[in-house]
């Protein structure tokens, strides 16, 4: 064969390979490797890591959102880094350090804007999701936290020092900011319900939480769950549970108690407490299996080698799993057939069948923390 023919053959051979190399993105995901500033891109269906990608900076407290086509992950690092990762090429396509110290971000419902909440210098920065060019800055009189997106190209966040929540409407040419004053002392985290209706902020400076109903004719904050919070006991902020640990489970919401070994059951309509379940340790995340039939709970150090499964009908613990040392996070596949559990100090992610509760696979990972599947792109309140 001549060189010419060989090249020609090479060209033709390359063409059919193309179709086989195509990859859908609906079953991909990202695992944060917190110690090394790297991530794994994983394929759920294959129970496998496709690639390790490095260069994300400080991922000791990282989170991410996905583009609406499920191709890109936007990763928010502790060091103010905002990094755009292409899941199809497994390469970083853009990275900026947009502030001194950031704690999380959100993507607008139309997928066109990325917002990042900052401690330093405070307030939020908003970027074009395509280019990461700056679009707007919304200053605040202190640390911005609890940043969430709401329907209608809106974002909400709260301010630690001033006890305010700010609603940022990006549907017009310039940001329109509404400030809710006095939501409570020292908001430290927040969530938005999965229907995009209610923004709930946790308070460090007082008991209870603050809820804003965005469907009301004139939204305004009201206090809920007055017994929920730090109470008389002094506690460092890092001991306060992440509100992302809340989970909707049918007609109920389940949430980790503050500094107690129990989860609380809340009526979804009234937002009043309806019961408690004693748990193995202090819960960190209480995550509902999609559909809400069971809730899986992991725990704070030193009881963090365990996961308990709680029946949402009876509120009873029905199973106890021992994935290994330092279980940091759990993520369910979109229709709830599997739960993926990161076990930091065993350097692995363990995959469970949610029906049999048996491990059915594992993936090696360096000090894994957060696990995020692309199905999040299609949901509100994440």
Which residues form the interface with a second copy (CB under 8 A)? 3-4, 7-8, 10-11, 14-15, 18-19, 21-27, 44-45, 66-71, 87-89, 109-111, 151-153, 171, 195-197, 215, 250-251, 268-269, 290-293, 313, 333-337, 355, 374-375, 377-380
Compare residues 18 and 181 and give the one whose CB is closer to a second copy: 18
Compare residues 109 and 273 and give the one whose CB is closer to a second copy: 109
Shortest CA distance to 273 belongs to which of 226, 317, 318?
A: 226
Spatial contact of 155 and 168, defined as CB atoms under 8 Å apart: yes
Residue found by looking up tokens 């100090």 in the block:
345
Least separation, in Å, of the C-beta of 367 and a second copy? 28
Compare residues 260 and 335 and give the one whose CB is closer to a second copy: 335
Compare residues 207 and 213 and give the one whose CB is closer to a second copy: 213
Compare residues 21 and 234 and give the one whose CB is closer to a second copy: 21
How far apart (Å, rounded) are the C-alpha atoms in residues 32 and 330? 12
Least separation, in Å, of the C-beta of 196 and a second copy? 4
How far apart (Å, rounded) are the C-alpha atoms in residues 73 and 84? 6
Question: Would you give the distance in Å from CA 74 to the centre of its chain?
Answer: 12
Spatial contact of 223 and 215, defined as CB atoms under 8 Å apart: no
How far apart (Å, rounded) are the C-alpha atoms in residues 42 and 48? 6
Residue 148 CB contacts under 8 Å (≥ 6 apart), including other chains: 106, 155, 156, 157, 190, 191, 192, 199, 381
Compare residues 45 and 179 and give the one whose CB is closer to a second copy: 45
How far apart (Å, rounded) are the C-alpha atoms in residues 243 and 60? 18
Q: Which residues of 7-43 are buried (b: 16+ CB within 10 A; e: fewer)?
A: eeeeeeeeeeeeeeeeeebebbbbbbbbeebbbbbbb
Compare residues 304 and 312 and give the one whose CB is closer to a second copy: 312
Compare residues 45 and 318 and give the one whose CB is closer to a second copy: 45
Least separation, in Å, of the C-beta of 288 and a second copy? 10
Least separation, in Å, of the C-beta of 21 and a second copy? 8
Q: Tell me the CA distances in angstroms from 190 to 140, 147, 160, one per residue in order.
A: 17, 7, 12
Least separation, in Å, of the C-beta of 338 and a second copy? 8
How far apart (Å, rounded) are the C-alpha atoms in residues 163 and 166? 10
Least separation, in Å, of the C-beta of 2 and a second copy? 9
Spatial contact of 177 and 230, defined as CB atoms under 8 Å apart: no
Shortest CA distance to 256 belongs to which of 292, 225, 297, 288?
A: 297
Least separation, in Å, of the C-beta of 86 and a second copy? 8
Least separation, in Å, of the C-beta of 336 and a second copy? 6
Compare residues 235 and 313 and give the one whose CB is closer to a second copy: 313
**Paired residues of 327 in beta bridges:** 343
Least separation, in Å, of the C-beta of 313 and a second copy? 6
Compare residues 125 and 198 and give the one whose CB is closer to a second copy: 198
Least separation, in Å, of the C-beta of 293 and a second copy? 7
Shortest CA distance to 370 belongs to which of 25, 42, 27?
A: 42
């Amino acid at each position: 064969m001549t060189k010419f023919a060989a090249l020609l053959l090479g060209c033709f051979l390359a063409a059919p390979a193309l179709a086989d190399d195509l990859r859908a993105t609906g079953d991909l995901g990202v695992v944060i490797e917190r110690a090394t500033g790297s991530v794994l891109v994983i394929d759920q269906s294959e129970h496998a890591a496709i690639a390790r990608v490095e260069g994300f900076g400080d991922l000791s407290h990282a989170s991410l959102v996905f583009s609406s086509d499920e191709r890109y992950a936007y990763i928010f690092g502790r060091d103010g880094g905002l990094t755009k990762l292409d899941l199809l090429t497994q390469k970083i396509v853009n990275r900026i350090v947009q502030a001194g110290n950031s704690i999380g971000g959100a993507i607008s419902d139309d997928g066109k804007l990325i917002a990042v909440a900052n401690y330093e210098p405070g307030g939020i920065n908003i970027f074009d999701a395509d280019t990461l060019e700056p679009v707007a800055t919304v200053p605040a009189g202190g640390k911005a936290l609890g940043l969430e997106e709401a329907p209608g190209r809106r974002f909400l966040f709260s301010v630690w020092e001033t006890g305010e929540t700010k609603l940022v409407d990006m549907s017009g040419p310039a940001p329109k900011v509404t400030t809710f004053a006095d939501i409570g002392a020292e908001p430290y985290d927040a969530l938005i319900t999965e229907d995009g209706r209610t923004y709930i902020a946790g308070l460090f400076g007082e008991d209870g939480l603050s809820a804003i109903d965005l469907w009301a004719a004139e939204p305004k904050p009201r206090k809920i769950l007055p017994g929920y919070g730090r109470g008389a006991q002094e506690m460092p902020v890092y001991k306060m549970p992440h509100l992302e640990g809340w989970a909707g489970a049918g007609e109920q919401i389940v949430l980790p108690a503050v500094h107690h070994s129990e989860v609380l059951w809340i009526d979804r309509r009234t937002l009043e407490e309806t019961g408690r379940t004693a748990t193995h340790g202090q819960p960190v995340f209480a995550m509902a299996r999609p559909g809400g039939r069971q809730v899986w709970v992991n725990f704070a150090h030193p009881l963090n080698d365990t996961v308990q499964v709680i029946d949402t009908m009876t509120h009873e613990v029905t199973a106890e799993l021992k994935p290994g040392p330092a279980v940091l996070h759990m993520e369910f596949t979109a229709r709830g057939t599997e739960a993926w559990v990161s076990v930091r100090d065993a350097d692995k992610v363990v995959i469970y069948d949610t029906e049999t509760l048996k491990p059915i696979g594992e993936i090696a990972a360096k000090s894994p923390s957060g696990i995020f599947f692309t199905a999040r792109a299609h949901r509100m309140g994440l």
